[in-house]
Amino acid sequence: MEAEKVISVPIKELPHLKVILAGWYNFLKDSYDQKAIDANAFKDSLKTNVVYNIDLDQVELLLSGTEQLLQNFRKKLS
């Protein structure tokens, strides 16, 4: 089993939060449907932390998953 990694995604405006979370969910669902990830990885990756950085006055999403899963998400975004 691969070690879990976390990436931080800074959010400038709250509507962007919804868009990124929806994209993350759709990516995970597609990955699960294509059997690229199992049910546990799907469930664990849905637990996305949202952090408020008071020093920068910005919200950050912490997306977690295997390194390969996170790289595939980055590719999909580009």
Going residue by residue through the chain (78 aa), what tens digit of pLDDT does each one get? 578 899 999 998 889 999 999 999 999 999 999 999 999 999 999 999 999 989 988 999 999 999 999 999 989 887
Closest CA to 31 of 58, 60, 1, 70: 70
- Residue 1 is predicted with a pLDDT of 59
| 69 C-beta neighbours (distance < 10 Å), count | 22
List the chain domain ranges: 4-77
And the tokens for 50?
A: 């949202």
Strands 58-66 vs 4-11: parallel, antiparallel or unpaired: antiparallel
| 41 C-beta neighbours (distance < 10 Å), count | 19
